[in-house]
């Protein structure tokens, strides 16, 4: 008969058997969870309309069988009295493994939330979100490594101080690049404009063709490419004409001084009728504004119900042509610069 009180390496044989039994039970429990319960949960998650439960299943699936085996082994060894060095080694391996597994889970969550906020149809936004996610993952890995070193009783104070000084030095050296980089983030997330918008800033104007990490490229009306730093763009007043739902137009014209009062009263009605006949045009106001040096001046305000510049120009042209036709019919003459000299 086997003596269960027999001692091997400071542990009775009975403790070894209990430890082995616990190892088998834990391993079978994890095996049952991963092969049966997790599959059923995955099947249920696929039937739901939300995606967050799928990412949780992916996080659990990312845990390898080797981790279950080691974790079962680690728990079972706690029943035994082990040498201090071996006990510390097992603790360190488990700590590194848990932190690594936690980082895998956090990275999956970062990818999930990055995908939720990212518009995949915008390549500029995609590159910005990718850069931010990589920076976040890098920072988290640095924190994880420092956490492991700290738990290994390694003094990390000087290392952190060195990182801080080095970061300040790098920031000073790359301040212009970093300024453009953060400006690009402001453009991507605040969206003052997107690719395809026609914008003006300072004395430049053009259609946005590409939003990069450092620069934005525009195509001007005359055809050349304008490359401007993101910092200059975000620090300027930008007019985005693509965002206009309608365009307000104000223009003036003058008629000759010999135009009768009766005809002057008819002019606002003539202009109003012209604007009403044109699609996408809406009259705002028409007034006999002032007595000019050589003309009786009128001011017209109307709206073009389109943001397209070509629509605006077509409507302006149509109004001008109809005004010429109507004024000719009413025998109203447009004024032009003239000077009459009276001699006594």
Residue 266 belongs to what H/E stretch? helix 261-277
Rounded to whole angstroms, how far apart are CA atoms 314 and 68? 73
Q: Can you give the residue range of the structural domain that contains 192?
A: 185-243
- Give the pLDDT confidence score for residue 321 in this predicted structure: 96
Torsion of CA 166, 167, 168, 170, to 10 degrees: 80
- Give the pLDDT confidence score for residue 168 in this predicted structure: 60
Does residue 150 sit within a domain?
no
DSSP label at 219?
E
pLDDT of 4 above 70 = no
pLDDT of 238 above 80 = yes
Q: Residues 205, 272: one domain? A: no
User: Nearest Cα to 90, choosing from 169, 19, 1?
Assistant: 19
The more confidently predicted of residues 212 and 23 is 23
Does residue 210 sit within a domain?
yes
Does residue 77 sit within a domain?
yes
Across 141-156, average pLDDT:
80
Most confident of 112-121, 130-139, 222-231, 273-282: 273-282
> Given 37, 52, 82, which residue is the final one in a domain?
82
Q: By the 8 A CB rule, do 203 and 253 touch? A: no
Q: Residues 234, 280: one domain? A: no
Q: Residues 7, 71: one domain? A: yes
pLDDT of 119 above 60 = no
Rounded to whole angstroms, how far apart are CA atoms 77 and 126? 48
Q: How many domains is the chain partitioned into structurally?
A: 3
Cα-based distances in Å from 288 to 33, 55, 222, 264, 335: 86, 69, 37, 8, 14
Q: Residues 5, 75: one domain? A: yes
- Give the pLDDT confidence score for residue 127 in this predicted structure: 64
Does residue 201 sit within a domain?
yes
Does residue 37 sit within a domain?
yes
Residue 323's CATH number:
3.30.70.100
Question: In angstroms, how far is CA 250 from the centroid of its own chain?
Answer: 37
pLDDT one-digit tens code per residue, 292-308: 988 999 999 999 998 78
Q: Is 329 exposed, middle or buried (0-12, 13-18, 19+ CB in 10 A)?
A: exposed
pLDDT one-digit tens code per residue, 211-237: 877 788 899 888 889 888 888 888 888
Q: Residues 235, 275: one domain? A: no
- Give the pLDDT confidence score for residue 64 in this predicted structure: 81
pLDDT of 57 above 80 = no
In the block, tokens 């010429």 appear at 324
Cα-based distances in Å from 169 to 139, 162, 174, 295: 18, 11, 9, 68
Share of the chain above pLDDT 90, in %: 22
Q: Kindly report the average pLDDT of the chain as a whole number.
A: 81
Of the given ranges (6-15, 172-181, 192-201, 290-299), which has the lowest mean pLDDT? 172-181
pTM above 0.75, yes or no: no
Q: Residues 227, 272: one domain? A: no
Across 282-294, average pLDDT:
93
Q: Residues 51, 15: one domain? A: yes
Residue 153, SS3 per DSSP: coil
Does residue 6 sit within a domain?
yes
Please list the residues that pair with 287 across neighbouring strands.
299
Does residue 314 sit within a domain?
yes
Residue 230's CATH number:
2.30.30.60
Dmax over CA atoms of the chain, in Å, equals 149
Across 251-276, average pLDDT:
95
Does residue 219 sit within a domain?
yes
Strands 238-240 and 204-211, how do they pair?
unpaired
């Amino acid at each position: 008969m086997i003596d269960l009180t027999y001692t091997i390496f400071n542990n009775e044989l009975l403790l070894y058997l209990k430890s082995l039994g616990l190892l088998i039970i834990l391993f079978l429990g994890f095996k049952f969870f991963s092969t049966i319960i997790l599959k059923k949960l995955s099947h249920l998650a696929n039937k739901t309309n939300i995606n967050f439960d799928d990412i949780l299943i992916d996080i659990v699936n990312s845990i390898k069988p080797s981790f279950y085996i080691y974790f079962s082994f680690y728990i079972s060894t706690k029943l035994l009295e082990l040498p201090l060095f071996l006990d510390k080694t097992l603790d360190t391996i488990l700590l590194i493994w848990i932190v690594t597994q936690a980082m895998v889970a956090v990275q999956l969550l970062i990818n999930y939330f990055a995908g939720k906020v990212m518009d995949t149809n915008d390549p500029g936004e995609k590159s910005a979100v990718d850069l931010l996610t990589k920076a976040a993952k890098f920072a988290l890995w640095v924190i994880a490594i420092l956490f492991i070193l700290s738990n290994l009783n390694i003094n990390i104070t000087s290392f952190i101080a060195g990182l801080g000084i080095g970061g300040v030095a790098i920031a000073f050296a790359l301040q212009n690049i970093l300024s453009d980089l953060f400006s690009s983030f402001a453009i991507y997330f605040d969206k003052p404009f997107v690719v395809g918008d026609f914008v003006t800033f300072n004395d430049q104007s053009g259609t946005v063709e590409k939003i990069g990490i450092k620069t934005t490229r525009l195509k001007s009306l005359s055809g050349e490419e304008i490359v401007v730093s993101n910092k200059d763009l975000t620090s300027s007043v930008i007019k985005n004409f693509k965002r206009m739902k309608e365009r307000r137009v104000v223009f003036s014209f003058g008629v000759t001084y010999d135009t009768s009062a009766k005809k002057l009263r008819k002019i606002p009605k003539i202009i109003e009728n012209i604007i009403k006949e044109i699609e996408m045009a809406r009259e705002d106001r028409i007034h006999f504004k002032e007595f000019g040096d050589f003309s009786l001046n009128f001011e017209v305000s109307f709206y073009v119900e389109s943001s397209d510049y070509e629509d605006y120009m077509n409507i302006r042209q149509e109004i001008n042509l109809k005004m010429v036709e109507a004024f000719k019919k009413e025998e109203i003459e447009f004024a032009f610069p003239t000077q009459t000299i009276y001699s006594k």
